[in-house]
A and B are shown apart, each in its own frame.
Chain A
């Protein structure tokens, strides 16, 4: 695991798309991250796992610029984005589907997609909406419905559809399968695989450990705001067994 870490944090490694080094973050007086260091190689899928409150969502927020890193650096696609505002990071090709509701409830399905396509790709690229709607048939039927009235699963699909509409370099998904029925969870993971097949790298926060580990190349284990283990899935699996003993019970 230490070996895996040293090869990705080596200086000038052009192959890592996202790289966190010594990142610390706080919510007001409350510290949530302590010297978090790991990276996401270009083209890979990385699982970010840890128990509740370990700081997984905070890592996702720091990466996408929603929460400022107090200490440390974050590099994305060759830029130091540590001090960049969230919109700039998004335009550089980093999509973040936050946990919980992640669509605009007061906009229609179509408006949600147009907004993302427009802000990220200038004019909505022709075919962006078609691409999204052809993948998600059930959304096409509801294109003029307010997104807030969609079911939880449909809202998840919509937030992933935004990424499909305008291809991104990295997708950070936070608990995409939370509260979904097993069949829909399968659908979400199929979609993530599909997104990855279009060339988008993934950083996946997930509680369904078996599912996420089976689709990932690498994994990062977070324990109380610190990286406890990082490396290829095979390397890290024993550490996960040790650090997250409850895990068989979590995976569906």
Chain B
């Protein structure tokens, strides 16, 4: 019995820390629909501030006030005001990408500001290591005691305040429809800001309370914590605070019990124990109710003007030809310089860019075209890489191994897709994230898979007499793979499957209603996407000639999504641009000092922050902007514009005036504003349009 207790009791403070984070997650999710993955990073910031302040000789209470009561809520408020209040009506991807960007950016920025020197954590009220009393002969330390007491008190207080002040009710109303809440006199802005402030307070508290449990204040500790917190929140169906608390503490205890009772040195303890939180998360997601795709639409969304479709408008012929010529020229020059002019390591960098483009293509297909969020693409790539490595070790020809890697990754993709079938939106992302975590923390460590940190060696391929051992030859090989796969993705996009995927992205229920087999489609999308990622991963391994679990850490899955989304997730070109850009930036920053080594992550994170306004992708936006200007210029050079055309109040005829200037107006309009068919009224993007400008039929 006392053995049992000695395993059980230390689990409680861990569970409490999970609970603080989980309750915070639930709060922001309930109030803004955002699954705030940057939560761990917020906890980290508070822990760093707290420990620096104590180091500088501040009294404990002052450090606490600054770190937990001021800094953390301020950060949360800034996030809500600057980013997430604009994502209320947006889809799950637009809500997710900024949070991921912050998850990468916040620790990177903190590190740049305070340096990478490790800091010893320090505890809050009680002396962390001092044993205050024994419970059934199990020592209870100050750390454990303060964490438990504070958590239970704080969570109870939160539950009470949410209930009695009506804040909980207002939050639920605001997340369904901020406008309708305002019609009931609720200040929607304040309500969601309050939720962010309160939840950030919890993040800060969790950070400060938890810091002493680890030997150093490192951001990775807090990110890992987040997984357990998400699992606890999933147990509470992302709604119930009491269930979340119970789930979190249960999780903490179960982890310690597993650690104590599982026979050490067996597969059970080496495999099951680390996998436990991810498995719980996956089960809770699939078995739970609330995250299933039962999203309620805002009935007042029609107050907003129509959004532009993510479809390139038909351009004037001159501009289209010009831009195609420019692209061809740029690509040609890039390839030429890569092959002829630049030193060896640049050749390597561009090859890496090509290989990454292939991996990114898998995101274009799955997320861009099909609207399915995956936070596990790096795991599929890793599975491909290790398959290729293992096969090559058993003397399978490398080219064949690369193709078989795609097959195995595809199978994995199908396996992951099956439980995801019941889920929608962000929940699919979380499920794939738990798969990625399982892969990097458990699967890839086995000698028969990734062989842990030692990794595998993967030779460069040969094809009959042709050897791809040289960097130049390998570049060509990767390029062939990229062209074939990109072409295949384009063919899918243009074909029936592409249309079905577009329908799936728009509305899963709507797709099902028009007779699309949504389940089959999702499995296909996951399978094909995983196959592409697997081939990309295998090529990556062969390019590097060795591969280990660190190349495909779960964090890369998050980085990939941010990068591709920021550059442009809706087009094949976007994946290629993202791949090359990422490889080049990685090369550039690797030559900078170690303190700025996170600059790369920072660059992409900042780009991701602009994503809220340009969710078609920042590069895609810039391109459209340039082409718009080019078009204006061309038109200006051809003929002076008809100024009065399309002015407010113009009666019938304004449509034809527009159509005179070089391109048929109706083509553009359909591409720009697919949902407005106001009686054949033509509509420009920038001019004010009179909606009532159709010819009078009566009166």
What is the interface of chain A, defined by CB distance below 8 A to chain B?
Answer: 26-32, 34, 53, 61, 64-67, 85-87, 90-91, 95-96, 98, 100-102, 104-107, 111, 114-116, 118-120, 148, 162, 223-226, 242-243, 245
Contact = CB atoms under 8 A, between A and B. Distances in A.
B139 interface: no
B690 A31 contact: yes
A98 B676 contact: no
Given A96-B183, A102-B180, A104-B176, A225 B691 contact: yes
Given A27-B304, A105-B296, A119-B170, A98 B183 contact: yes
A120 B184 contact: yes
Contacts of A102: 180, 299
B200 to A, nearest CB: 24
Nearest to A93: B185
Interface string B677-699: 01100011111111110000011
A119 B184 contact: yes
Contact of B296 (A32, A98, A106, A115): A106
A26 B690 CA distance: 9
B674 interface: no
Nearest to B694: A224
B169 A107 contact: yes
A31 B296 contact: no
Contacts of B166: 114-115, 118
Given A115-B173, A119-B185, A28 B690 contact: no
A29 B684 contact: yes
21 contacts: A26-B305, A28-B305, A29-B305, A29-B685, A30-B688, A30-B691, A53-B678, A85-B187, A87-B186, A87-B188, A90-B183, A90-B185, A102-B299, A104-B177, A105-B296, A107-B173, A114-B169, A115-B184, A120-B184, A120-B185, A225-B690
A91 B183 CA distance: 9
A85 B182 contact: yes
**Interface of chain A, main secondary structure:** mixed
Q: How large is the interface on B (under 10, 10 to 19, 20 to 34, 35 or more residues)?
A: 35 or more
Interface string B163-185: 00010011011001101111111
A225 B692 contact: yes
A190 B137 CA distance: 74
Contacts of A162: 184
Nearest to A96: B183
A34 B651 CA distance: 13
A32 B688 CA distance: 10
Contacts of A148: 296
B306 interface: yes
Contacts of A31: 648, 688-691
A34 B183 contact: no
A86 B296 contact: no
Nearest to A116: B184
Count chain A CB atoms within 10 A of each CB in B176, B179, B648, B688 and give the residue with the most.
B179
Interface in B449-486: none
A32 B300 contact: no
Interface string B296-309: 10011001111000
A120 B183 CA distance: 10
Interface of B: 166, 169-170, 172-173, 176-177, 179-188, 296, 299-300, 303-306, 648-649, 676, 678-679, 683-692, 698-699
Given A53-B678, A115-B173, A148-B296, A86 B179 contact: yes
Contacts of B303: 27, 61, 66-67
B299 A100 contact: yes
B173 A86 contact: no
Contacts of B181: 87, 104, 115
Contacts of B688: 26, 29-31
Nearest to A57: B302
B299 A98 contact: yes
Contacts of B188: 87
A30 B699 contact: no
Contacts of B304: 27
A246 to B, nearest CB: 9
B186 A115 contact: yes
Contact of A86 (B169, B182, B649, B699): B182
Given A34-B649, A104-B173, 17 more contacts: A26-B305, A29-B685, A29-B687, A30-B688, A31-B690, A53-B678, A66-B179, A86-B183, A87-B188, A90-B183, A90-B184, A98-B299, A101-B299, A104-B176, A107-B169, A118-B166, A120-B185
Contacts of A53: 678-679, 691-692
B176 A66 contact: no
A242 B686 CA distance: 36
A98 B185 contact: no
Contacts of B300: 66, 98
A119 B191 CA distance: 12
Contacts of A116: 184-185
Given A115-B173, A224-B692, A98 B182 contact: no
Report, nearest first, the 5 A-B pairs whose CB atoms are least far apart: A28-B305, A224-B692, A119-B185, A86-B182, A27-B305
B408 to A, nearest CB: 42
A114 B163 CA distance: 12
Contacts of B692: 34, 53, 224-226
B305 A30 contact: yes
A28 B699 contact: no
A245 B183 contact: no
Contact of A104 (B180, B306, B690): B180
Contact of A30 (B177, B187, B683, B698): B683
B172 A106 contact: yes
Contact of B176 (A34, A105, A223, A245): A105
A114 B699 CA distance: 47
Contacts of B296: 105-106, 148
Contacts of A118: 166, 169
Nearest to A26: B688
Contacts of B172: 104, 106-107, 111
Contacts of A105: 176, 296
B184 A106 contact: no
Contacts of A65: 182
